[in-house]
A and B are shown apart, each in its own frame.
Chain A
C-alpha cells in the first residue's frame, strides 16, 4: 500500500505544502544525526523520523496566537511552529544564536514569539503546564488553544491523569495530542499498560477522544482541525491518539534490542512522506520537477541552517549565571523579564 488511504487530495498546493513540511523535518533530523556522528552536537538526541505527519498535520490547525507544549523529541514541532532551523541547530551547537542561547539543547527548545513552551524532557511534565496555559486563556477570556504533545509512555504517569482530570473538570481549551509510537523508550505499550486503548483513557475523563492514523498527514490535519475548532468554540478539552511509529532508535545510544527489524520495516512501508508522495503522484499532482524543486529548496534551507550554526559564537561563559533569575528591570537589553508572561502581564 503506497498511497494515503481514503483520501482524495482536493487542494494540490496544500498537499504540496504538507509534503514540504514533512520533508523539512526529515532533512533536519537526518542532518542532526550526521552532526551528532561528527560530534558537532552532543547530549541526548531524539529524532522524529517516521512521525512527521503528526506535527505537520496538527500545526496546520493552529493560529499564530495558540500555544504549543512538546516533549524532548521536538525538533520537528519547533521547526513547524516557526522556529528557524538555524536557531534550532545553533542551540544544539551550544551557541549564543541558539533559540535558548545554548542553555537548552536538543531536548529544550523554546520560542516566545512562536508561543512554543518546550522542549520538556520529563515525561508527562508538560501536561500540567498546558492545562495552566489554557486556564490563563480561559480566565482572561481569550479564544486561544493550547496544544500539548506527549508520547504514549506519558499515560502511565500521574501527571497525565491529574491533567486530564483538571482539563475536563474546568473545561479548558486544550488539545492533547498523544503520539503513540508504541514504545516508551524500549518498553512496548502492551508491557506497560493494562489498558492499551489510549483514547479510552481520555474518554474516561469525559474528554472527547479518538484515534487517528498518524502516518496519514491528511487524516491528522482533518482530525486536528475538527478538534481545534471544537476546543476554540468552547467545547472543552479534546484528545487525539495519533498512531505512529519511530523509524530510528530512541536516541543515539539505543541498540534497539526490544523490537524486531521486520516490525520496523513493515512500518517503514507506511512512511508518511512516501505515502503522500505516492498519492500525489498517482493523481498526477507531483511532477518529477516539482518534487526535485521541493527537495532542493529544503536541502538549501537545511544547508544554510548548518552554516548559520557553524558560524555562531559559543554562548559566553561570562553570561553563564544570567537567566537563573530575571534581569533587573533597569538592566535593559534584549532579554526579558518576560516571554509571553511579561508582555501579557503588561497588557493585563
Chain B
C-alpha cells in the first residue's frame, strides 16, 4: 500500500493501542491538536482522552509520570515534541528510567517507550533542530532506536513495547512526509540488528535516521562514478550492532560514517573507535566522518544547509576513502 512515515507511525500506535489495553499515549498536544507533527491525528476520537492523554507543558513531570505508570504495570508511550525539549526531562530519563532496574538490584524494570522528533533541516533554529540521540546512546540502561524507513516506522514501536526496559525512539522531522510502498501485512520488526540496505563492495557507508535518504542518494551517484557502496542503516544506536558493520568492512576495507550529530564525542566517534578497535587490520584507508559542523543549528536556509551533512559532502568523503590506497 501507499503510505507515509507519519501514517506508518500512526498505524503502529493504533495497532499497539488495539492489541494491549495497557498501552496509552501521553504528551503535549497529542490529543485535541492531533500531535504537533500530526502523528496521532484522529486517535483521540478512536481511543478517548484517558488513553490519548494531553499533558501540560511539564516534560519532567509527564515523562516521570510515564515511568511511574510503567512501574505500575502500564505500557506508556510518551511523546516529547522535540529532542531539545527532552532536556527538560533528562532527570527522569537518565536518573530514573535508565537506573531503576540496576539500582534496585533487578526489582524494578521500566517498560516505557519515549518518542521524540529529532534533527534539523526545517529552518527551526537552534532550539528545535539538534540531533542528540547519540548523547542518549551514551547511557547504559536505555535502548535507542532511530527508524529511518517506512517499515521501521511501522514496526519498531510494537517491538519496543515488548521490551521490559526503557526504549527511546527518535523520529527525524524530515522523514514524516516521506512516502512509499509498505507491505499490507507490515508489522513488528526486530530492534537488535543494523540493516545493509544497499550492497556494494567498494566501501561501507554507515548512517541512521534522517541522513539515510541522502546517503542512499549519494550511493546511487557514486555508483554512476563506478564506486559501489554498502549502505548500513544502523536502526538501533544502543546497543550498536558492531557485527554488521565489521562484516561489511571486512569486504570493503573502507568506511564513511554519516551522522547529523556533532562530530566531537558523537555516535560517529564511537563507531569510528570501534572500527579501529575491531577492524583495524581490515582497513585500507582512514575512517571518514561526515557530521554536522560544530555550531548551534542556525535559522537561515543556506547557513543551516551548510552546517548539515549533504550528498556532496558524503560523496567527497567516499571518494577520498576509495582514493586512499593502503
Q: CA of A111 to CA of B21 in the docked complex: distance in angstroms?
A: 27
Question: Do residues A110 and B64 form an inter-chain contact, with CB atoms below 8 A?
Answer: no
Question: Do residues B108 and A112 form an inter-chain contact, with CB atoms below 8 A?
Answer: yes
Q: How many residues belonging to A are interface residues under a CB distance threshold of 8 Å? A: 57
Question: Do residues B105 and A127 form an inter-chain contact, with CB atoms below 8 A?
Answer: no
Q: Does A340 touch B at the CB level, under 8 Å?
A: yes
Q: CA of A101 to CA of B71 in the docked complex: distance in angstroms?
A: 19
Q: Does A304 touch B at the CB level, under 8 Å?
A: no
Q: Which residues of A contact B55 (CB under 8 A)?
A: 166
Question: Do residues A341 and B65 form an inter-chain contact, with CB atoms below 8 A?
Answer: no
Q: Which residues of B contact A257 (CB under 8 A)?
A: none
Question: Do residues A335 and B68 form an inter-chain contact, with CB atoms below 8 A?
Answer: no
Query: Across the A-B interface, how many residue pairs have beta carbons closer than 8 Å?
Result: 190
Q: Does B165 touch A at the CB level, under 8 Å?
A: yes
Question: Do residues A323 and B101 form an inter-chain contact, with CB atoms below 8 A?
Answer: yes
Q: CA of A4 to CA of B102 in the docked complex: distance in angstroms?
A: 43
Q: Which residues of B contact A229 (CB under 8 A)?
A: none
Q: CA of A214 to CA of B58 in the docked complex: distance in angstroms?
A: 31
Q: Does B9 touch A at the CB level, under 8 Å?
A: no
Q: Which of A142-175 contact B (CB under 8 A)?
A: 158-159, 162-163, 165-166, 169
Q: How many residues belonging to B are interface residues under a CB distance threshold of 8 Å? A: 45
Q: CA of A245 to CA of B100 in the docked complex: distance in angstroms?
A: 30
Interface string of A312-348 (1 = CB under 8 A from B): 0000000000111111000000011111111111011
Q: How far, in Å, is B85 (CB) from chain A's closest CB?
A: 13
Q: How far, in Å, is A138 (CB) from chain B's closest CB?
A: 9
Question: Do residues A337 and B109 form an inter-chain contact, with CB atoms below 8 A?
Answer: yes
Q: Does A128 touch B at the CB level, under 8 Å?
A: yes
Of the listed residues A103, A131, A322, A325, the one surrounded by the most CB atoms of chain B closer than 10 A to its CB is A325
Among the 9-residue stretches B90-98, B130-138, B294-302, the one with 4 or more Cβ atoms under 8 Å from chain A is B90-98
Q: CA of A132 to CA of B76 in the docked complex: distance in angstroms?
A: 10
Q: Which residues of B contact A343 (CB under 8 A)?
A: 73
Q: CA of A136 to CA of B51 in the docked complex: distance in angstroms?
A: 11
Interface string of B129-150 (1 = CB under 8 A from A): 0000000000011010000000
Q: Which of B157-173 contact A (CB under 8 A)?
A: 164-165
Question: Do residues A348 and B22 form an inter-chain contact, with CB atoms below 8 A?
Answer: yes
Q: Which residues of B contact A344 (CB under 8 A)?
A: 72-73
Question: Do residues B65 and A166 form an inter-chain contact, with CB atoms below 8 A?
Answer: yes
> Given A139-B50, A326-B164: A131 and B61 within 8 A (CB)?
yes
Select A339's contact among B69, B102, B104, B140, beta carbons within 8 Å.
Answer: B104
Q: Does B110 touch A at the CB level, under 8 Å?
A: yes
Q: How far, in Å, is A344 (CB) from chain B's closest CB?
A: 3
Q: How far, in Å, is A59 (CB) from chain B's closest CB?
A: 20
Q: How far, in Å, is B162 (CB) from chain A's closest CB?
A: 10
Q: Does A183 touch B at the CB level, under 8 Å?
A: no
Question: Do residues A341 and B106 form an inter-chain contact, with CB atoms below 8 A?
Answer: no
Interface string of B99-130 (1 = CB under 8 A from A): 01111111111110000000000000000000
> Given A128-B92, A159-B64: A135 and B69 within 8 A (CB)?
yes
Among the 9-residue stretches A19-27, A117-125, A187-195, the one with 4 or more Cβ atoms under 8 Å from chain B is A117-125
Q: CA of A119 to CA of B91 in the docked complex: distance in angstroms?
A: 15
Question: Do residues B58 and A325 form an inter-chain contact, with CB atoms below 8 A?
Answer: no
Q: Does B287 touch A at the CB level, under 8 Å?
A: no
Question: Do residues A136 and B140 form an inter-chain contact, with CB atoms below 8 A?
Answer: no
Q: Does B262 touch A at the CB level, under 8 Å?
A: no
Look across to chain B and name the residue whose beta carbon is closest to the beta carbon of A138: B50
Q: Does B36 touch A at the CB level, under 8 Å?
A: no
Look across to chain A and name the residue whose beta carbon is closest to the beta carbon of B143: A325
Q: Which residues of B contact A131 (CB under 8 A)?
A: 61, 64-65, 68
**Given A110-B103, A110-B108, A341-B72, 13 extra CB contacts under 8 A:** A100-B105, A100-B107, A131-B68, A135-B69, A135-B72, A136-B68, A140-B73, A162-B60, A163-B61, A169-B56, A323-B102, A323-B105, A338-B164
What are 20 A-B interface contacts by the 8 Å CB criterion? A100-B104, A103-B102, A117-B71, A119-B103, A129-B96, A132-B65, A132-B71, A132-B76, A134-B68, A137-B72, A140-B72, A159-B64, A325-B141, A326-B165, A327-B106, A339-B71, A340-B71, A340-B72, A341-B70, A341-B72
Which 10 A/B pairs are nearest by Cβ-Cβ distance? A132-B68, A128-B64, A136-B72, A162-B61, A344-B73, A101-B105, A110-B104, A100-B105, A335-B106, A132-B65
> Could you list which residues of chain A lie within 8 angstroms of chain B, going by C-beta atoms?
67, 98-104, 108, 110-112, 117-120, 122, 125, 127-137, 139-140, 158-159, 162-163, 165-166, 169, 322-327, 335-345, 347-348
